[in-house]
Amino acid sequence: MERTSPAGTVSVQFIGNATLLIRYGALTLLTDPNFLHRGQLAHLGYGLVSRRLTEPAVDVTDLPHGDLDAVVLSHLHGDHFDRVARRHLDRGLPFLTTPHASRVLQGLFGFHRAVGLRTWQSHTLLRGDSLVRVTALPGRHAPAPVRRLLPPVMGSLLEFGDRSGRIRLVMYLSGDTLMFDGLRDIARRCPDIHLAVLHLGGTTLPGGLVVTMDAGQGADLLDVIRPHRALPVHHDDYGVFRSPLSDFLAEAARRGHGGRILRCRPGERVTVGGDTRR
């Protein structure tokens, strides 16, 4: 794997589900590490499980462990942080996540550098001349009556630049959220997003409860934040996903967003520059 991305660009390798390997300059980030193999069960809490239908494109042992600067973790669910990742990731690796996940990571699993970020709180990482400021953004995993049954979730804003503080590229990770009014605050505060990574799939729990964006909600989010480019993920890896990628692509195209969408199969990379235009 390459150690750096081309100057002024972010390189994103899609590993599967919501797991990405992100490089900007000398920095390397991992998101939502999910390395279960096909047929293994992800634990979703309260006795709920879902079987993985795909293989991760990269085995956890093949990650560039020595290059990793941090993990950006949207929340603690078994399809975003699993027992394989827990065994193989360094306990000294920083995690940038929700306060809830930070407490569990530190207290139960020994990841002593886990940082809990409240909504709109930021944490900055530096390596060499490369900088990223990670800010926790609003997210809502379920409607109000059952929200307390699911772990708190956050979106993330990744602002990449150099140690002078100049920001050259902005990336948004939606996390496992539904569309709600709080996401409109992202558009107001962050009007120029170069790449948005959307967690889709219409995850449906027993009883028909939908807890991640389906095709329509994903297109709604594009209507609101209008990123230069958008990368759909989290849509076909588990049996609980009921809204296929094809539905999102069709709906996004119908609303005039077809030119924004990047396609990236597991194992492939996309590269986006800060001069990307809508």
Identify the pLDDT of residue 5: 64
Mean pLDDT for 27-45 is: 95
In the sheet where 229-233 sits, what is the strand order? 122-127, 130-137, 155-162, 167-173, 195-199, 229-233
pLDDT of amino acid 276 = 54
pLDDT in tens, 111-160: 999 999 999 999 999 999 999 999 999 999 987 777 777 899 999 999 99
Give me the pLDDT at residue 212, please.
96
266 near 59, Cβ under 8 Å? no
Q: Is the pLDDT of residue 2 over 60?
A: no
The mean per-residue pLDDT over the stretch 173-189 comes to 96
What pLDDT is attached to residue 145? 74
Least confident interval from 46-50, 62-66, 197-201: 46-50
What is the structure's pLDDT at 278? 41
Residue 277 has pLDDT above 50, yes or no: no
The string of pLDDT tens digits covering residues 208-219 is: 889 999 999 999
Q: Are 195 and 230 in contact (CB under 8 A)?
A: yes
| 94-107: average pLDDT | 98
Going from the C-alpha of 55 to that of each of 5, 12, 60, 227, 231, the distances in angstroms are 26, 18, 12, 29, 20
pLDDT above 90 for 84: yes
Contact (CB, 8 A) for 109 and 86: yes
How many C-beta atoms lie closer than 10 Å to residue 162's C-beta?
Answer: 15
Q: Element (H or E) spanning 95, and its range?
A: strand 95-97
Whether 65 has a pLDDT exceeding 70, the answer reads yes
Which are the contacts of 87, defined by CB distance < 8 A and separation ≥ 6?
A: none
Please state, rounded to an integer, the average pLDDT across all residues of the chain: 94
Extract the tokens encoding 252.
Answer: 């996004």
Strand partners, 58: none
* Residue 224 CB burial class (10 angstroms; 0-12, 13-18, ≥19): middle
SS3 state at 195: strand
